[in-house]
Amino acid sequence: MSAAALAPDVQARPRLSLRGITRAYPGVVANDRIDLDVLPGEIHAVLGENGAGKSTLMKIIYGIVKPDAGTMQWEGEAVRIASPAQARRLGLAMVFQHFSLFETLTVAENISLALDAAEAGPGLPAKIRDVSRRYGLTLDPARLVHAMSIGERQRVEIVRCLLQAPRVLIMDEPTSVLTPQAVLRLFDTLRQLADEGCSILYISHKLDEIRALCHRATVLRAGRVTGECDPRRETTATLARMMIGAELPHPRHRPPVAGAPALVIDGLDLRSDDPFGTTLRSISLTVCAGEIVGIAGVSGNGQRELLTALSGERRVARRDAIVLCGTAAGRLGAAQRRSLGLAFVPEERLGRGAVPEMSLAENALLTARHRGLVWHGLIRADAARSRAAEIIASWSVKAAGPGAAARSLSGGNLQKFIVGREILQGPRVLIAAQPTWGVDVGASAQIRQALIDLRDAGVAVLVVSEELEELIEICDRLAVIAQGQLSPARPVVETNAEELGLLMAGSAAMPEPTAARGRA
């Protein structure tokens, strides 16, 4: 009850104050009359699902997007922030979800570009080392960014912001790219900053993190503020109710009944065709019929390379490095692998999972050529339309109909359509990359449940995801990919987030597949 329980002084004048901020895009009001107050030295969460309008709001505050209506006050003075440069002059800094770093430049060069010419002099590397030591963010100013891991890049972004001595720091989904251990270190840094008087706007949809870190939370749903609370006094369930208007859905599980191996990867080596990519080194994994195997890992550790090798977009040197339903498939192309019973849900929905300009019916046709939709090379338009309509109906996809262009669908709806299309193939092996990335909670739950149902129907399912919680929730066994190497898959019940986090960081020694560990 006492105000002292709240770390920052609630009576203090807000450092940043928004009133009635509104921004509409064609077809959607991203921000609808948003009010927000940020006090000095507080860690203020902006909580909401994907698409709730969090990122738009932050872009408005940072001057990247102009609001249609509403006012802003900075330290009690009315301001209009017209550009990021002006935002930075006021004392706002932002760490972007998709980083704003220049890959071909060094850390010091990247940071110097964000500072005034006067501050970016020859003393900069020393300043960088200074700040990174003070906040425990180890950095080498001379390294090129493209060679750094995602977590290291985030450190560059943070140090770059800190050198500007910001009074409000905006962090947009900062933990989505970090291992559990790195998240804890980040929290320490943020708490230290808040203690020094810096306000932090913390954008996230992860309820546990917000409860552990933030002093106050503003909850957004569909562009509107639906609540304001002290997250430390809330439960995950009450926060979820504010965020999605319902309880967090949990999928139903049945004990696994693993059958025969359906997908066997055996000692797969593959040089990346991208010089900044990751080379795969002796990857081995077996996925049996009737089980879900997950591959966890921070993105950029070889997931992309592994997935292109599995989907058949890249062929591998050895035929039997990939065995699909008993057939050595290493040299087969994507179409041949699909005819063996493989279905694939890629990470990029637009451009790889679906052709953006084409209708849903045409997109349904693209991976279903041999299933009655084509007659002697001619498209059977009716069949394609009814197939698309079937997917739309059974997945309650929000779309204008089978004729709607794929690009007109929201991320969640398009993903449901793609997953539905692949499942309708009646696959024996389904590979899904980031199946719920950027998908709202309801659709995520639906997709996860579908994967579990598929498993129960005897399909071998492989899920590659950065969302550790999701993997732990749906998978039977989990492996971790780090620096192009895959750890042995272990039953989920025998492992935990900390152990997996260490593997993700590549710091824990990969356990040898054979028990021969020398003298000990």
Partnered with residue 479 across adjacent β-strands are: 295
Give dist(CA 504, CA 79) in Å, integer: 44
Nearer to another protein, 144 or 340 (CB): 144
Stretch that binds another protein, among 43-51, 64-72, 344-352, 464-472 (CB under 8 A): 64-72
Asked if 104 interacts with another protein (CB under 8 A), we say: yes
Indicate which single residue of 46, 114, 262, 429 sits in contact with another protein (rule: CB under 8 A): 114
Q: Which helix (H) or strand (E) holds 446?
A: helix 441-456
Q: Are 26 and 82 in contact (CB under 8 A)?
A: no
Q: Which of 95-103, 186-194, 300-308, 465-473 is the region at the interface with another protein (rule: CB under 8 A)? A: 95-103
Residue 304 interacting with another protein (CB under 8 A): no
Report the residue from 1, 3, 4, 85 that binds another protein according to the rule CB under 8 A: 85
Span from 32-40, 59-67, 353-361, 485-493 in contact with another protein (CB under 8 A): 59-67
Using CB under 8 A as the binding rule, whether residue 25 contacts another protein is answered as: no
Looking at 49-57, 85-93, 213-221, 506-514, which segment touches another protein (CB under 8 A)? 85-93
Which range in 81-89, 219-227, 250-258, 321-329 contacts another protein by CB under 8 A?
Answer: 81-89
101 CB-near residues (< 8 Å, 6+ apart): 110, 145, 153, 156, 157
In degrees and rounded to multiples of 5, residue 500 shows phi and psi of: -65, -40
Q: Which two tokens stand for residue 108?
A: 């010091």
The alpha-helical segments, DSSP class H, found in 32-149 are: 54-61, 84-90, 107-113, 124-134
Question: Nearest approach, Cβ of 354 to another protein (angstroms)?
Answer: 22
> Closer to another protein at the Cβ: 99 or 187?
99
Q: Which stretch binds another protein (CB under 8 A): 80-88, 207-215, 460-468, 504-512?
A: 80-88
Provide the 3-class DSSP secondary structure of residue 354: strand
Contacts of 243 (CB under 8 A, 6+ apart): 47, 48, 49, 52, 205, 207, 219, 221, 226, 441
- Least Å distance, CB 243 to another protein, is 27
Q: What span, in angstroms and rounded, lies between the C-alpha atoms of 498 and 64? A: 37
The rounded distance, in Å, linking the Cα atoms of 116 and 121 is 9
103 is a contact residue toward another protein (CB under 8 A): yes
Q: How far is the CB of 114 from another protein (least distance, A)?
A: 4
By the rule CB under 8 A, 274 interacts with another protein: yes
Does residue 64 interact with another protein by CB under 8 A? yes
What is the smallest separation between the CB atom of 283 and another protein, expressed in angstroms? 23
Rounded Cα gap, residues 359 and 329, in angstroms: 31
Dihedral sign from CA coordinates of 103, 108, 110, 111: positive
CB of residue 127 to another protein, shortest distance in Å: 16
Report, in Å, the least distance between residue 254 CB and another protein. Answer: 46
Smallest gap from residue 165 Cβ to another protein (A): 15
Q: Is 112 in the site for another protein (CB under 8 A)?
A: yes
Cα(217)–Cα(145) distance, rounded to whole angstroms?
33
E strand or H helix that includes residue 388: helix 381-394
Binding of residue 88 to another protein (CB under 8 A): yes
What gap in Å lies between CA 352 and CA 252, rounded to an integer? 30
Based on CB atoms, which residue is closest to another protein, 150 or 374? 150
- Pick the closer one to another protein by CB: 96 or 395: 96
Under rule CB under 8 A, how many of the chain's residues touch another protein? 30
| Binding positions for another protein, 128-167, rule CB under 8 A | 146
Q: Return the amino acid letter for 58.
A: M
CA atoms within 13 A on the CB side of 30: 19
- With contacts defined by CB under 8 A, name the span among 216-224, 252-260, 272-280, 465-473 that binds another protein: 272-280
Q: What angle do CA 465, 469, 470 make, to 5 degrees?
A: 55
Asked whether position 118 contacts another protein by CB under 8 A, the answer is no
Give the chain's count of helices (H) and strands (E).
16, 23
Q: Do residues 293 and 472 touch, judged by C-beta distance below 8 A?
A: no
User: C-beta of 87: minimal distance to another protein in Å?
Assistant: 8
What is d(CA 203, CA 217) in angstroms, rounded to the nearest whole number?
Answer: 10
Instruction: Please report, as ranges, the residues that interact with another protein according to CB under 8 A.
Output: 62, 64-66, 83-88, 94, 96, 99-105, 109, 112-114, 117, 120, 146, 273-276
